[in-house]
Amino acid sequence: MGLRVRLATLDEARGITEVHCSDVEQWVRAASGRGEPAEYEELSVEDRYLHGGPWMSVETCAVHLNYVLTSGQYALVAELDGRVVGELELYVGEERGVLGRTAYIDVLVVHKDFRRRGVGRALVSEARRLAVEEGCDTLSVWPEADAIPFYEKCGVRSVAYRVAHFVVAPDKATEGATAEVEPLPHEYSCVRGSWLISPRTWSSAAAWLKCRWPLALRVAKSTVDEGRIPSLSATFILGAVERDGLDCWLTLWLDDPGLLPSALSAICERARAAGCRRLHVLVDEQLASKVTSLRASLVQRELVLFERLG
């Protein structure tokens, strides 16, 4: 039967879970904080989630897959002799900046027993075909460091953004005037014409969608505050994990990136009120100086790669 790549359905949830779980050498009771070794069948859904996200359990994988498919995005599976051996998730959307209309590879995983057989390349090739079919300007990805050579060999080798990951302490940031915040509109169209500022590791469409998809787990990130600041033309979402609200992750769009210091100052006020102790901000390194003015600490650097199509 050989290798073929096709669109996934909800029936693939179990096969996709097996692919993502293949890398785990030792399962532990992570949700309890004790880290005790256990068999997979003995773990709670939260325990499994903490080993790698919603793909680690059929229950949450099916929910996530449903979100992807009903949002008009793409989940691809690679099938070898009737068995699912790889998965790729692709998000298509318009945004400002070098990526333009982009097809963003958010997930690419191959079962550990089927690597170096061209499975990953076949998935990227189909993602590229879909990107062209969707009229995209670029194919993009935020790769793990050890995956960069793979994507370069696949032709995704140009640097779109060099990203700096900062942590800001809201209670130590320069205090700013409290800004009026309006409710956040529900449609992506409200930010399509704005610049995605953080996390610059994602595409704008992927950032929007993934912030709108809740899971009923204490260990999954959920929204603690969101809104639009009209005076700054800023749209923001603060996400945190329920069991540890100390860390908040900022998703931010601005019409004018030059207003980033003012926007961060206003958002720090909101984060402080929400009990956040550490605010994670991931920006293009060209904006780094606008973050360090708030006594931010640099955590690490990342790359976003892209390939121009057509």
Q: pLDDT by residue (tens digit) across 230-276?
A: 999 999 999 998 777 689 999 999 999 999 999 999 999 999 999 99
Nearest CA among 260, 283, 300, 299 for reference residue 173: 260
Q: What CA–CA distance (Å, rounded) separates 214 from 210? A: 8
C-alpha span between 80 and 4 (Å, rounded): 7
- Judge whether 3-156 and 163-301 match in fold: yes
Q: Where are the domains of the chain?
A: 3-156, 163-301
CB 96 within 8 A of CB 193: yes
Q: What is the pLDDT of residue 224?
A: 94
- CATH number at 3-156: 3.40.630.30
DSSP letter, residue 177:
P
- pLDDT 10s digit of each residue in the chain, 310 long? 689 999 999 999 999 999 999 999 999 998 877 789 999 999 999 999 999 999 999 999 999 999 999 999 999 999 999 999 999 999 999 999 999 999 999 999 999 999 999 999 999 999 999 999 999 999 999 999 999 999 999 999 999 999 999 999 998 876 665 789 999 998 999 999 999 999 999 999 999 999 999 999 999 999 999 999 999 999 999 999 877 768 999 999 999 999 999 999 999 999 999 999 999 999 999 999 999 888 899 999 999 999 999 8
Q: Out of 1.10.357, 3.40.630, 1.10.150, 1.10.3470, select the CATH number for domain 163-301.
A: 3.40.630
